[in-house]
Structures are given as C-alpha cells and as structure tokens.
Amino acid sequence: MKVINFGSLNYDYTYQVDHMVMPGETLASRGLETHCGGKGFNQSVALARAGIPVCHAGMVGEDGGTFLEICRKEGIDTQFVRTCPGKSGHAIIQVNPAGENCILLYGGANRRNTPEQIEEVLSHCEAGDILLLQNEINLLGELIRGASERKLRIVLNPSPFEEKLLGCGLERVSIFLINETEGMQMTQKTEPEEILSALGRMYPESEFVLTLGEKGVFYADGKGERLYVPACPVKAVDTTAAGDTFTGYYLAGMLQGKEKQELLKRACAAAALAVTKVGAAASIPYAREVDAFLSE
C-alpha cells in the first residue's frame, strides 16, 4: 500500500510580532525567518519523520528547487512534483508572543496543477492506496472523484476550509482530520460533541479526528465509537504546522497498526513538540524525539 500526498508547497515568511496587524495599521515586526512549509509539504515531512514512505505530488515554480532538495534529504519521493513557470506558493505568517499565528496565502504554483498531472499520479495508484489531501491546491474535486473511482482511501485535512469544498464529493472521504474552526465552519455547530454528531450525519461512512489544540482531540466514527485524548501541555512558541504534524503522525500510527488511543496520544505528543519550535516543516519532530518525549 502506498501513501501519496497531493498537496501544497509554500515558502513561509514568518514574522514575529507583538500583536497581529490590524486594519489600517502599520506594524514593525521583531524578526523574520523563512522556512519551507505548506500544509501538503509539512504533512509529507511529518509522515517521513514518523517512518512512513511517502510520495509527494504537487507543483512548484521555477524557484522551487529547495523543496525538492529537502524532500530528497527526508526520503520523500518527488517523482510527481512538477515545476511550472512563475513562482511557488508562499505564506506570510505572523506569530505573536503566545505562539499563535495568522496566515496569508499566495497560491502560486499550487493552483496550477493540471488534469493530466492528476491522471498520471492516479494511474500509478492501486486500490487500497492512501491519497492524502489538504485544501491548498486546485482541482481537489477532480482528485477526490478520480481517487474514489480507483478505490483509493482518501484522507482529507480540509484546511483551510472554504464553502465550495462541500461540493467536492466529500462523502467519498474515508478519514477527515479537522480542527475546531473547520469543524464549526463545516457544521455550523460550536461544541465538539455537536460537531462530531453533525459530521457523522453528513458523512456516515467516514471517520473523524477533531483536534482542539490545547484542549486535546476527539475521534469518532459512524458506528458510534468515540474517544478523547488530552493534549500534552507545553510552552508554545509557534503553533505553525502543529495540525500538519498531527495529521502525519496520526496517519503514520494508523499504518503502523497502532491501537487508536495510542496513535492519538502519539500524534498529540508530536504536535506538542512541533509547537515548541519556530517554523513549519523545520519544527516537526522525528519519531525518536516523540518516543523520548512520551517516555518522560
């Protein structure tokens, strides 16, 4: 069984700020760091660091060589990362002293994937392979439809959420990994229990993992199973890529055959470690670091 992650690759410009810039305000930042990120790229790195071979598919611009280099160093298969004229995607990220962030995206090459490229990637997949998706690329509906026709297992992190995602055939998704905001946007409910119940009614065949940041994580499926695991308390420096780390480690634990409670705990621990460091992919821990943290 293969894992294909068809997702975004962004250069992240991370500014340290005293507070998030407000409408009409000009704000001096305390510093700037540039990192490789993008929800897709971060999740491939998390899978690789958790010990799962992953093939990344997507599009970078002429400036995208650094992503390919890092992928090779991390052992991520890049045979389906294409290069197009123009710029790669980028993100402008503000991080405040509490470690919270605000992200402004420029899609760039992430919005230039083609139907031919999708066909090529899917033609290399077999029934039962896993297709991991987020919502930072174009043609998501086509990907979901094509993958479902080939009987792939679709795992979706619907981030960032937008209304039109609901028209992309989400009933074909096997596992949703969602944060609280996305859960509220998808269901118009506010309480985690209500969000999970509403999602269960919308997609009765799917499983759901609802992350609540420092409040922990819920798991639910259409058969009535519900689990809760508390978050690991840490001092947050930068929460960027915490959700991506969780997604990669959750999927990895599942493929490694870990029992659900254990894999939720492990994914929480990995995400907690990620928030103790600045940056996106750079903040994602290796499996040995997660093991050490869990045994403390």
Q: 39 or 82: whose CB is closer to ligand RIB?
A: 39
What is the C-alpha separation between 91 and 33, in angstroms, rounded? Answer: 12
Shortest distance in whole angstroms from residue 63 CB to ligand RIB: 15
> In sequence order, which residues have a C-beta less than 8 Å from that of residue 190 and are 6 or more positions away?
184
The number of angstroms, rounded, from the C-alpha of 120 to the middle of its chain's C-alpha atoms is 23
Q: How far apart are the first and last CA of the chain?
A: 33
Q: How far is the CB of 230 from ligand RIB (least distance, A)?
A: 22
Report in angstroms how near the CB of residue 95 gets to ligand RIB at its nearest. Answer: 11
Closer Cβ to ligand RIB, 147 or 280, answer by number: 280
Which residue stretches of the chain are H helix?
A: 39-49, 65-74, 115-123, 140-149, 180-187, 192-202, 242-255, 260-274, 287-295
Q: How many angstroms separate the Cα of 281 from the Cα of each of 46, 105, 110, 247?
A: 8, 16, 17, 13
Nearer to ligand RIB, 10 or 44 (CB): 10
Task: Supply the minimum distance, in Å, between the C-beta of residue 104 and ligand RIB.
Answer: 9
DSSP line for 107-129: -GGGG---HHHHHHHHHT--TT-
Residue 87 DSSP label: P
Closer to ligand RIB by Cβ: residue 210 or 241 = 241
Q: List the beta bridge partners of residue 210.
A: 178, 218
Catalytic residue among 12, 221, 238, 244: 244
63 is catalytic: no
Name the residue nearer to ligand RIB (CB basis): 39 or 172. 39
Which residue's CB atom is positioned nearest to ligand RIB?
A: 37
Least separation in angstroms between CB 91 and ligand RIB: 4
Interface residues toward ligand RIB, by CB under 6 A: 8, 10, 12, 37-39, 42, 91, 103, 136, 240-241, 243-244, 280
Catalytic residues: 244
